[in-house]
Amino acid sequence: MRRSLLGMIIILLVFALLLFTQNLYLTNAFSSKSYVNAYVSDEIYYVTSSRYVLYKVFNVNELKISPSNNDRYYTIVLGNYLNLSAFKFIRDKCDCFDIIDNNYRGSIPATITISKESTLITRTVFVGNNINAVYIKVHENCSIKRIIEVFEEYNYTIIDVVPGWALPDTKYYAGFNLEHPPLGKYIIMVFILLLGDNPFTWRVPSIVADLITMVFSYLITKSILETLINKKKAEYIALLTPLIMLCDNIYYTIGVLAMLDPFLSMFTVIGVYIFINTNYRNFYQNILKTITFGLAGLIKYSGLFIALADIIEGFMVGKGFIERLRLGFSALLRYYIIYPSMLIVSSLPFIIYLGFYNWFKMAIIDAIRWHLSTKTPPGAGPVSSSPFDWLIGVNSFILWTDPVTGKNITCTGLWYVYLSSMILALIILPLYFRQTKIRRLFLASFSIWFMYLLLYLLGNKSLYSFYIIHFVPLLEIQLIVIISILLLRVKKIYNK
């Protein structure tokens, strides 16, 4: 036990070192030219929505860049086109702020003529997804309100004044991201408040989630192997799972970004650990399992895909037909009661801010439409892929272009591991269907993959390869379990 524990600690430390090194590299590479360009991939959605929630919903008007930096930073979003020469006059009148970054490209001005009540009106509008903004640092004993007044004196229309790190150069900053539940944004918000609003900090919770995922992946593997071999051997063989994870670039790409998917993977793996060890006749274990899977569903609605495995298992574990019906429908009922309650409680700040009707429309009705639709036509947006593509490593999502090397970094992972795991599981499952823990593991991985496939068939062709991190740990666990099973059968045949 001590040696296996020491081995796990060493692997965890190496994993943490590699993840934090990758974070440091991304932070330096993307922030070196401009504060505006510090965001990597879809961080522009989740970091900015987290900050915007703090600013709009929780009324946080000051955000530190780091715990040791007491300066106040703001992005001033302007309604009219940015004229840098005007800043000389603004600074002459109000010299208590510094311009930190003006690298915003701004929207393109266009002149249009519209008809209103039989009268032709010509006006200038701004088209495109860029914002007109400037990032400033406010000196001590200086009021941001006074700075805004001076901007307005020079005929600038102020749309927003957002505290914290510079906004990205996109209009997407102004949104609550309610197509996804709020828990993932809350986690990012907590780290921003505790450690400061900066790129390195944004990614720390994802790294913590990766480390927790590794620990529970080891525990799941160990727990299943203990049903096949003695405890000591199980502890050592189970170390193969974190070793595979250590070599999987999924965790060094999507796994280190300030996105929702690492949290989704973490809660799923924690829930699966409870799932494989649950006694379906134990009320408290069932509630704990449902709450944990519910937490995955509070990161993304796809976190509830695992519920299919839980419900199917409920219909299989009873001793007779009546008990199986009771346990299966009880599992279904738990999700209908517990998850909506969790969603409403976690969304109370938005419900209070927006009103229940507006929240319900945005977070439920619009979210369902969004998840069932294709966001961009084929070839017009990011590289999309089907759940089959994820298993053969094609049509991989380009997460970023390395500023140093110019190389496109894709989210591909160890696709041959994933494919082998799925194929071998289909072969092995009939032979070990009565082995509870093995069956539940296979149900978990196949249920999640199947639900993504169903989503794809229902019309959402905007699925991306990085979604697979949701259940990649389960595929890696599955492969180690299957290899162990095959070796045991070979040994048994050889001994005969």
Q: Would the pLDDT of 398 be above 70?
A: yes
Amino acid at the residue 10: I
Residue 297 maps to a domain: yes
> Confidence class of residue 161 from pLDDT cuts 50, 70 and 90?
very high
Q: Supply the pLDDT for residue 341.
A: 96
Strand partners, 125: 110
Residue 307 maps to a domain: yes
Q: Are residues 213 and 79 in the same domain?
A: no
What is the percent of the chain with per-residue pLDDT over 90, rounded to a whole number? 65
φ/ψ (deg, to 5) at 401 = -105, 120
Q: Which residues of 140-159 are buried (b: 16+ CB within 10 A; e: fewer)?
A: eeeebeebbebbeeeebeee
Of the residues 177, 202, 219, which one is the last residue of a structural domain?
177
Q: Are residues 154 and 237 in the same domain?
A: no
Q: Are residues 256 and 156 in the same domain?
A: no
pTM for the model stands at 0.92
CA distances 91 to 42, 84, 196, Å, are 35, 11, 28
Of the residues 177, 206, 241, which one is the last residue of a structural domain?
177
| Whole-angstrom distance, CA of residue 202 vs CA of residue 207 | 10
Average pLDDT across the chain, whole number: 90
Residue 24 maps to a domain: no
| Domain count along the chain | 2
Q: Supply the pLDDT for residue 106.
A: 74
Q: Are residues 278 and 313 in the same domain?
A: yes
> Confidence class of residue 262 from pLDDT cuts 50, 70 and 90?
very high
Q: Are residues 200 and 170 in the same domain?
A: no
**Per-residue pLDDT tens for 88-141?**
667 667 778 888 888 888 766 666 666 655 566 666 666 677 888 889 999 888
Residue 3 maps to a domain: no
Residue 21 maps to a domain: no
Q: Which two tokens mark 369?
A: 């439409």
Element counts in the chain: helices (H) and strands (E): 19, 8
Q: Are residues 154 and 241 in the same domain?
A: no
Q: Are residues 267 and 319 in the same domain?
A: yes
Domain that holds residue 45: 34-177
| Whole-angstrom distance, CA of residue 301 vs CA of residue 197 | 27
Q: Give the closest residue to 264 by CA, choosing from 471, 58, 82.
A: 471
Q: Are residues 429 and 404 in the same domain?
A: yes
In contact, 136 and 103? CB cutoff 8 Å: no
**Per-residue pLDDT tens for 171-207?**
878 789 999 999 999 999 999 999 999 999 999 999 9
Q: Which residues of 241-257 are buried (b: 16+ CB within 10 A; e: fewer)?
A: bbbbbeebebbbbbbbb
| Whole-angstrom distance, CA of residue 34 vs CA of residue 167 | 11
Q: Are residues 167 and 270 in the same domain?
A: no
Q: Which two tokens mark 448?
A: 């999640």
Residue 10 maps to a domain: no
Q: Are residues 198 and 231 in the same domain?
A: yes
Q: Supply the pLDDT for residue 253.
A: 96
Q: Which two tokens mark 133?
A: 């903004």
